[in-house]
Amino acid sequence: MNIVVCVKYVPDAQADRTFSVDNTTDRAGVDGLLSELDEYAVEEALKIAEANDGEVTILTIGPDRAADALKKALQMGAHRAVHVNDAAIHGSDAIATSLVLAKAIQKLDPQPDLVLTGMASTDGTMGVVPTMLAERLGLPAVTYASELTVADGKVSVRRDGDLASQTIEATLPALVSVTDQINEPRYPSFKGIMAAKKKPVDTWTLADLGVDAELVGLTAAWTTVESFSARPPRQKGQIVTDEGDGGSKLAVFLGEHKFL
Amino acid sequence: MEAAEFESVLATVRDFVREVVVPAEDEIEETDEIPTRIREQAKAMGLFGYAIPEEYDGLGLTMSEEVRLAMELGWTTPSFRSLFGTNNGIAGQVVAKNGTPEQKQHYLPKFASGELVASFALSEPEAGSDPSWMRTSAKPDGDGWVIDGAKQYITNATRADVFMVFARTSGERGTTKGISVFVVPADAEGLRIGPNDPKMGQRGSSTAEVSFDGVRVDASTLVGGQEGVGFGAAMKSLAKGRLHIAAICVGLAQRMLDESIRWATASRQGETRIADFQLVQGMLADCHTEIYAGRAMVLEAAREYDEGTDQRLAPSAAKLYCSEMVGRVADRAVQVHGGAGYMHAVPVERFYRDARLFRLYEGTSEVQRVIIAKAITRSR
């Protein structure tokens, strides 16, 4: 079984994230990492591959430093990686991203039986790329999986809603996006870290994929970030001193703020 | 190991310690045990074999690398590193440095994977700081040996599959010659492991008495295949272990400073953060300065260890300084926390108790001073 996992290199959410002058995500000033939500997809792929004698390919689009995200996934145990790296991709929206991912997946040999993704990226948090990608590849899309089994040429997926859970089946090949409830991603083992450097990583450009540079990047994006501003700093809390009337002061406060 | 790979190892261990072990600290304190899930993850990562040579499936870290790893491990409860400390350290190194090729081939890969837990059985009631006074003996018996005696405070005894047992095979008590070391299976007939010792701190680590009543072992269990290598093997293992412990102390001291900074910047007296009081600032600054000195000392001692220029004096000096330093940092950390520092609810209360052991094991501060003083006055 051949599995492709699409992953994203994102700015560390623990750091002070900001934007560049062109209103795209600032990647230079902040440390990046493999998106935590994608680690669940990598873990799920590894589990399926281990049970089915499969092979896991990690695919990312991003600048040079995005190689770190691939390295982490290879250290976890993935077999090979593909890095689509082309300056023209800078500023691409979800539509262009799904186009490049689709072209890269179509170039893979052998073709995957299963495409896995996280439920969203931790920076953009749109969660639309998986279905766009499935549409471009002509694959059934099953999203937000919190449980996934593969058997007899089918995937069976549990989707947990607020009030009920659904079980959905799709025939392979298929695309599945997974949630952070599906597993507990492993830590790379020391042996995995040592083995990762010997694993093959292909680097492809837009030309390698036959994608017209006009179709991607900031100028081709259907949406643009017009402006941004930092969240205002938290206001100092109001301290109510109890001088025998603490209860009524509290009631007044709650009333004024329409909590009562 | 390439620098980039080692940085990945450090980053992985740092993440694991902070994301998995730190949140379990209260559970470890309550249950006095490392949860199975953490033990299994530590095994899968390879933590049981970071210091075992690469040809025996370990990571074969240099001392300079090992101390940096130890500083990361030190950032949480010391009982976590104790879980795999004997496999990599004092017990595993006895086989790695002194074993026959067959013993290395048989044991080291199993130590590295965590399949076997190894324990180092040297200390006795009248022979702790000075092992030459040990009473445990091994007498020839046909083609094997019979071991009699008792050991105390043996780390990981209750978890061990094999013990490195130090026993006198010849010579007078009080002399260093004639001490041999055997690899004894924990299930050997006549070997009895006592209950887990109740301790002041480091809950989750395990120590116990181990006694030997006519324990018969094969000739193949004699480490190195020859008698008398025990004292030298113990001293070599302990010197390496001392440097490791010094690095653990630096890591724990850093954690206590991090906790104290967090506390001091979040807590107020009236409208003033306690971190803005100069007497509190003084304590934080002293901690930072001493930790910086300890870290620099450990890294330099490790460099000398790797280059072979000093494998005895520098480990003792680093262990002496860092174990005393972590005690001073623990004391200030409790002080910075004020009354809360005395409560079980804050980590520094627990670390204050944990830290006390570092001045006692792997050679007391007094033993380190004697080693250092002897070495620096010998040639004068």
Kindly state whether residue A58 falls inside one of the protein's structural domains.
yes
- Residue A72, domain member (yes or no): yes
Stretches in chain B below the pLDDT threshold 50: none
Residue A190's CB is within 10 A of a number of other CB atoms, namely 25
**Could you tell me where the beta strands, DSSP code E, fall in chain B?**
118-121, 137-141, 144-155, 162-168, 179-185, 191-193, 207-218, 268-269, 272-273
Is A191 among the domain residues?
Answer: yes
Q: How far apart are CA B47 and CA B59, in angstroms?
A: 9
How far CA A5 is from CA of A59, A69, A187, A205, A243, in Å, comes to: 6, 12, 17, 19, 62
Distance CA B89, CA B243 (A): 11
The fourth-level CATH superfamily of domain B3-113 is Acyl-CoA dehydrogenase/oxidase, N-terminal domain (1.10.540.10)
Asked whether the beta carbons of residue A187 and residue B1 sit closer than 8 angstroms, the reply is: no
- For residue range A198-222, list pLDDT tens digits in order: 999 999 999 999 999 999 999 999 9
pLDDT attached to residue B60: 94
Report the alpha-carbon distance of residue B245 to residue B155 in Å, rounded: 14
Q: Is A47 on the interface with B (CB under 8 A)?
A: no
* CB-based contact, A191 to chain B, within 8 Å: yes
Amino acid at B199: K
CB contact (8 A) between residue A190 and residue B59: yes
* pLDDT at residue number A16: 79
Picking from B184, B174, B310, B164, the residue whose alpha carbon sits closest to that of residue B229 is B164
Best A39, A46, A72, A193 member to test B by mutation, with max B CBs in 10 Å, is A193
Architecture of the domain delimited by B232-377: Up-down Bundle (1.20)
Q: How many domains does chain A have?
A: 1
Q: What is the pLDDT of residue A39?
A: 97
| Per-residue pLDDT tens digits for B65-111 | 999 999 999 999 999 999 999 999 999 999 999 999 999 999 999 99
Name residues of chain A where pLDDT drops below 50: none
Q: Inter-chain contact B45–A187, Cβ cutoff 8 Å? A: yes
Whole-prediction pTM: 0.90
The predicted structure's pLDDT at residue A15: 79
Give me the domain span that covers residue A40. Answer: 2-220
Query: SS3 for A7?
Result: strand
**Is A246 a member of any domain?**
no
Q: What CA–CA distance (Å, rounded) separates A45 from A58?
A: 10
**What confidence score (pLDDT) does residue B102 get?**
97
Told to judge if B362 belongs to the known catalytic residues of this protein, a careful annotator would answer yes
Give the model's pLDDT for residue B208. 97
Q: B44 to chain A: which residues are within 8 Å by CB?
A: 186-187, 189
Cα dihedral sign, B227-B228-B230-B232: negative
Listed in sequence order, the DSSP H helices in A53-164 are 67-76, 94-107, 129-137
- Whether chain B has a CB inside 8 Å of the CB on A13: the answer is no
Place of tokens 């620099």: B296
pLDDT score recorded for residue A241: 81
Amino acid found at A89: I
Q: Can you tell me the distance from the alpha carbon of B331 to that of B336, in angstroms, rounded to the nearest whole number?
A: 9
Q: Which of B1, B12, B43 to mutate to test the interface with A (most CBs of A within 10 A)?
A: B12
What local confidence, expressed as pLDDT, does residue A127 receive?
A: 93
B118-227 to CATH, choices 2.60.40.10, 2.40.110.10, 3.40.50.300, 3.40.50.720: 2.40.110.10
Domain of residue A186, CATH code:
3.40.50.620
